[in-house]
Amino acid sequence: MQVSIACTEQNLRSRSSEDRLCGPRSGPGGGNGGPVGGGHGNPPGGGGSVPKARAALVPRPPAPAGALRESTGRGTGMKYRNLGKSGLRVSCLGLGTWVTFGSQISDETAEDVLTVAYEHGVNLFDTAEVYAAGKAERTLGNILKSKGWRRSSYVVTTKIFWGGQAETERGLSRKHIIEGLQGSLERLQLGYVDIVFANRSDIVRAMTYVIDQGLALYWGTSRWGAAEIMEAYSVARQFNLIPPVCEQAEHRLFQREKVQVQLPELYHKIGVGSVTLSPLACGLITSKYDGRVPDTCRAIKGYQWLKDKAQSEDGKKQQAKVMDLLPIAHQLGCTVAQLAIAWCLRSEGVSSVLLGVSSAEQLIEHLGAVQVLSQLTPQTVTEIDGLLGNKPHSKK
């Protein structure tokens, strides 16, 4: 199984979530309306009647609480985890295409990066319709087509919200979700994608329709609050629709509250996992700048908001703390970047951490975080928390 993701960055008006979760779906078409008549367990393009014995309808025991099940790939050392409590297995490190594919690096370099990632066991490739105005999807699609890798061996995710200039070409109307996703599939040259992220409760119906039509296999949320995710889950259960399986959120040394406090509770309650992004803050969490980020830094070139953030008072304090981590990295025999990525992988409920790189060499360095993960003892984590001074505390 694979997943297709359409994400949104628009925030909802949160309504109070239901205290009591609804029971499991009773079967296809068994709710109070909505486009759910296709049989959600069927493969894309499949039709016909739904067989009597469907795995999706067989009651399953609840997944065990605690850490995600993890396995190591033969020959690559890559670790694989379930996406939330779904059965989809994704590499703990994924490859993001924001800024780089179709924008900052050549198509040849992009192919090198993707090839190295795949050969090192990465099976999750994340993109969006807005990245480089669609060129990132086109570049990714061209590479995947030229490589001829089995479609079943990798997961492609995309995000839907910012499309074209017309009012109907952006947002989360059913029209744009469907037409935007069809545009993404055309650029990617794929028959379906693997995960879609959305907003508003009525989007649950649209996402169910997208999955029923075989355009995607799963959907998730992006930059939602915990109450909003819970609301979407409750709506899905109430009206016999398909609930989200994961949330895509920023997570790094200096942004911890949501992934470390809010999302683990949802993981245990309803099985929603996390795919996190920007573990290095667009390349700013590294010791190579010696605590000072120059104007020539590739990460902030052309992004004034990122430059302002890096040069702010808080940004300078964060850079100083990054340098404080250098002795710990040296002790573990790794770089600060590898340490920061491995630290992100420790968080409960995190299925995969998306990497953004500009070269194959940089990717290989970041993939080394998988080996660093096993060295992060409780004592080391406590030392890192002491240096950062920002450990969030659960309200419980």
- Of 241, 199, 189, the closest CA to residue 220 belongs to 199
DSSP string, 167-193: GGGSSS-HHHHHHHHHHHHHHHT-S--
| pLDDT band at residue 298 using 50, 70 and 90 as cut-offs | low
Q: What sign for the dihedral angle of Cα 2, 111, 127, 74? A: positive
Residue 288 pLDDT: 65
- Minimum mean pLDDT among 67-71, 114-118, 346-350: which range? 67-71
Alpha-carbon distances, residue 142 vs 132, 192, 232, 267 (angstroms): 15, 15, 35, 35
Residue 289 pLDDT: 56
How many CB atoms neighbour CB 303 within 10 A? 14
| pLDDT band at residue 307 using 50, 70 and 90 as cut-offs | low
Active-site residue identified among 80, 131, 218, 267: 131
Query: How far apart are the C-alpha atoms of 384 and 262, rounded to whole Å?
Result: 21
Tokens, residue 116: 């190295």
Tens of pLDDT, residues 173-187: 889 999 999 999 999
Most confident of 11-15, 103-107, 122-126: 122-126
- In the chain, the N- to C-terminal Cα span, in Å, equals 36
Average pLDDT, stretch 152-159? 96
Q: What percentage of the chain has pLDDT greater than the value 70?
A: 74
Is the model more confident about 372 or about 68? 372
Res 135 pLDDT > 50: yes
Average pLDDT, stretch 78-82? 97
pTM for the whole structure = 0.79
Average pLDDT, stretch 214-230? 93
Are 345 and 81 contacting, i.e. CB atoms less than 8 angstroms apart? no
What mean pLDDT, rounded, does the chain reach? 81
Query: How far apart are the C-alpha atoms of 164 and 239, rounded to whole Å?
Result: 32
Average pLDDT, stretch 279-308? 65
What lies within 8 Å, CB to CB, of 94 at 6+ separation is 122, 123, 124, 125, 126, 275, 352, 353, 354, 355
Residue 396 pLDDT: 56
| pLDDT band at residue 201 using 50, 70 and 90 as cut-offs | low
Residue 30 pLDDT: 37
Res 225 pLDDT > 70: yes
Query: How far apart are the C-alpha atoms of 71 and 363, rounded to whole Å?
Result: 21
Tens of pLDDT, residues 253-286: 999 999 999 999 999 999 999 999 999 987 788 8
Tens of pLDDT, residues 10-60: 333 333 333 323 333 333 333 333 333 333 333 333 333 333 333 333 334
Residue 164 pLDDT: 84
| Residue 209: active-site member | no
Query: How far apart are the C-alpha atoms of 183 and 55, rounded to whole Å?
Result: 32
Give the helix ranges, DSSP H, for 189-290: 203-212, 226-238, 257, 263-270
| pLDDT band at residue 293 using 50, 70 and 90 as cut-offs | low
Alpha-carbon distances, residue 319 vs 10, 144, 280, 309, 323 (angstroms): 30, 37, 12, 11, 7
Query: How far apart are the C-alpha atoms of 169 and 332, rounded to whole Å?
Result: 49
| pLDDT band at residue 214 using 50, 70 and 90 as cut-offs | very high
Res 134 pLDDT > 60: yes
Tens of pLDDT, residues 233-250: 999 999 999 999 999 999
Most confident of 36-40, 112-116, 178-182, 346-350: 112-116
